[in-house]
Amino acid sequence: MNDAEMVDVENQEQVEVDIEQSLKDRSEDVFESVDINLIDIGDRAREDFGDLDGLASSIKRIGLLQPLVVTRQEGEKPYLLLAGHRRLKAKILNKDTRTQVRIVPGKLSEIEMMTVELHENFYRKDFEWIELVKLQKKIHDLQQAIHGKKISTLPDASGWGVAETANLVNRSRESVQKDIQLANAVEQFPELFDGCKNKSEATKLMSKIQETLLREELAKRVVENTGSDRLRRISNSYVIGNFFDVAAKMEDSIFNLIEIDPPYSIDLTKVKRQESQANTQYDLDKYDEITPENYPLFMQTMLKESYRLAKDHAWMIVWFGPEPWFEDMFNWITGAGWNTTRMVGIWTKGHGQSLNPNTRLASSFEMFYYAWKGQPALAKPGTANDFRFPPVPPQHKYHPTQRPIELMTSLYSTFAFEGSRVLIPCAGSGVGILAAESCKMSAVATDINPAYKEPFILEVDNYLKGGI
């Protein structure tokens, strides 16, 4: 900014100060009730009047809380409106004939009148969403303190309920109910809502919290009340913790089959975004992806530790993203001591998806390397490397990479015999544990993310009831 520009800015600021002081120095303003038809609206800055019906209803119920601001002038309409155009329109909508006004005395210059409107509208701060929902809850709580809580749903029942609050603030019962719930959630989990930019984001977050709390409570009740030792045993097979920490406490050579379904490091959030926007039960933002920079070390360490934990004659299944990890994964597997082949196993889904359907064929399958330590035998000799099972419908998933139990049961029973011990380093949905149970095998599964264990417990309960 040059010197001339700085002088202009200083002059402008001084003009504003002088105008404000001029308004302050005037004699006391007068408050009167005047005929609405005598008010001249003049040239106004406001163009968008928002919810006039709501304002009109509020004024009709509790009156005009803030009078219009006018100044006197000559002519048929002796009052020139300075501020309160929206309130005036609401009063006209109510067919009111008179209104309270604050009369600024003396003759105002055009710039003084513009300054009044500026301070009335430009510097006025509307409620933030969080302030508005808290205010509605406070109104609701205060009214209940005065009138008592309404227990009966009959229209003439005594007490105060959400319907009465909705009528008071001129909003629907459903919207007020949701706002009160949102205010309660903000009070209970304030730190979770700090990053919400608007009410829509906050409402979605509240729904996720409610779903999580509900699953946690249901899972707790299932474990406590079912009385099933089998359910507890299967649920305890899902261990929350870092695989490497848990594995470090295990002895060498104890597992017959190891099934690794790690993050693919392919930006799953982008790949699954369309599916996650459907009516899904899972929260894609909870998924723990691994960056491409950290992926090689992560996989190499996991493959070496898995080799240590595998029996002398054991199988390993490793799911992976062929683009860009096909050759890297092969080298990491063999580098850890395993034997494998580039003739991978394939899960064929029956339909595909593509981020670039105009230029790329839709992918309808996923790949897995199968590797071996020593010379294990297949439990089902001659099985083809193509496993055909439809995927889990998005609306039935509680984990973004959840696989059908029929697929996992087929895989486990192909490579391992009944009585085998299965290690699942990345438990995810936990469906591998159920597959092992179906194949009369025992499983140990770990996952660093606790978000999926509660829905897994509910899935176990459903499985034991014959629902899967």
Compute the mean pLDDT over every residue in the chain, rounded to the nearest whole number.
Answer: 83
Which residue's structure tokens are 């438990």? Answer: 427
- pLDDT, average across residues 145-149: 87
In angstroms, the Cα distances linking 186 to 39, 64, 129, 196 are 44, 31, 11, 11
Any idea which of 15-19, 42-46, 458-462 has the lowest mean pLDDT?
15-19
Query: How distant, in Å, are the alpha carbons of 32, 36, 40, 51, 376 from that of 75?
Result: 19, 15, 10, 32, 104
Q: What is the pLDDT of residues 386-413, one digit of tens each?
A: 999 999 988 888 888 899 999 999 999 9
Nearest-angstrom CA–CA distance, 147 and 77: 46
Number of CB atoms found within 10 A of residue 408's CB? 26
Q: What is the pLDDT of residues 153-191, one digit of tens each?
A: 666 778 888 888 888 777 888 888 888 888 888 887 788
CB 315 within 8 A of CB 423: no
Question: Does residue 278 have a pLDDT over 60?
Answer: no
Q: Which residues are bridge partners to 420 per DSSP?
A: none
Flag the least confident range among 106-120, 328-342, 376-390.
106-120
Of 427, 443, 391, 432, give the one whose Cα is nearest residue 409: 432
CA distance 420 to 149: 60
- pLDDT average, residue stretch 303-321: 98
Handedness of CA 297, 344, 326, 452 (dihedral sign): negative
Contact 69, 116 (CB under 8 A): yes
Residues 247-277 pLDDT 10s: 999 999 999 999 999 999 876 555 454 544 4
E-assigned strands of 116-253? 238-240
On the question of pLDDT at 421 being above 50, the answer is yes
Strands 363-373 and 339-340: antiparallel
Confidence category of residue 12, pLDDT binned at 50, 70, 90: very low
**Contact (Cβ atoms closer than 8 angstroms) between residue 237 and residue 262:** no
Residue 299, pLDDT > 90, answer: yes
Partners of 320 in the β-ladder: 367
Poorest-confidence range of 224-228, 292-296, 333-337, 424-428? Answer: 224-228
* Calpha distance 237→445 (Å, rounded): 6
User: CA nearest 367: which of 387, 338, 340, 390?
Assistant: 387
Asked if 39 contacts 87 with a C-beta cutoff of 8 angstroms, the reply is: no
Partner residues linked to 55 by β-bridges: none
CA distance 433 to 445: 7
Instruction: Label residue 214 left, alpha or beta by phi (over 0 means left) and psi (-120 to 50 means alpha).
Output: alpha
